[in-house]
Structure 1
Amino acid sequence: MESQDPYVIFDSWFKEARESELNDGNAMALATADANGHPSVRMVLLKGHGPDADGKGGFIFYTNLESRKGGELAANPHVALLFHWKSLRRQVRIEGPITQVSDATADAYFASRARDSQLGAWASDQSRPLDSRATFEARFAEVKARFEGRDVPRPPHWTGNIVSPTRIEFWQDREFRLHERWVFDCEGDGWRTQMLYP
């Protein structure tokens, strides 16, 4: 590995992925489990990453807290992330607990979204049954009319989560499935690094 700091390695790989992946180089699989340990996985978008002023930090994504994933995060605030960058033949696996970002951080990100995305956050009862696309489009039209001529505030049920990694694994494809794997385990204020058999 080119560094003993997993954030530095991730930054380098992520930059390459944003340039090489055809669509959504920031897409990641988010695995959660409910209170009974039943798993669920879906794709979300990474919206921030890296260490904070204390050198901790993590990986940020946003969601509706009333969705299925929101309920699972509330019941079991431990997740796994997976980035698979097929064009680079690389994967990054991340595990750790989640906490919500501050209201100020969530408000700032929500304000940066396209207006229709902001309106969609109000119109969608994410993960709940929907009788028809027309119903959703009518709700969107109602929300659009309600906020006509003014800023769209962040819904109280919509926020960001930050995954504070306890483990980060970098996987590089090699010929004949003789892959290269490096794992970083959080240890106090630093990281313990080791290679793994492929």
Structure 2
Amino acid sequence: MAKSFSPVRWYHGKYSEGYDLRPVRSARIAGRTLKFLALAIRVPLLKGLIGRVILWQLGVFRFRRHSPSGEAVMHPVHPNQRQLTKKESRISLQHFFQSAKDKHSPRTKLALQKKEQGKKSKSQKSSEMEKVEGVFDFHNAYLQGFTTPLQVAQRFLDVIRSMEESAVPLKPMMMWDAKDILHQAELSTKR
């Protein structure tokens, strides 16, 4: 016996328990049907009828009646995994900058000494470099001679891994390959 389609049964279907609202589902319309619907929605009598059906399918009426059960969920709900503690992340960051300062060539160290005699003292520069978190900060650290591309790539991979291992894992938006990133960084360092 074939199941009949019932809008009421569709409305009360199962939904993810991680979020407050049911998923939005609507008919896919393309081609001639879409052209006809675009023309029909301009007719005053059909506009109200078609508009209400579409809004009902998209869940606008459900959303208006919805009373949330708590605070809004502003991020995806993921299973808990191992968290990187603040102490571990600070140690990792300090180790990164310390290793970056120790591995410079004599020529780079001489250039750094000339820059340090400028406007800012050594303590101010080191405190600034400890705050490095963004791409432009890494770029400036490279231009000032504090790091090499290989060290920046290693820190970048550490940041991505720590993001994936945090309480709320943040997955990067693109695919990445650690070996390829390190290989490109090594080639860039040799140049």
Question: Scaled by the length of structure 2, what TM-score is found?
Answer: 0.23
Question: Scaled by the length of structure 1, what TM-score is found?
Answer: 0.22
Bigger Rg, which one = 2
**Counting strand residues as a fraction of each chain, which structure ranks higher?**
1
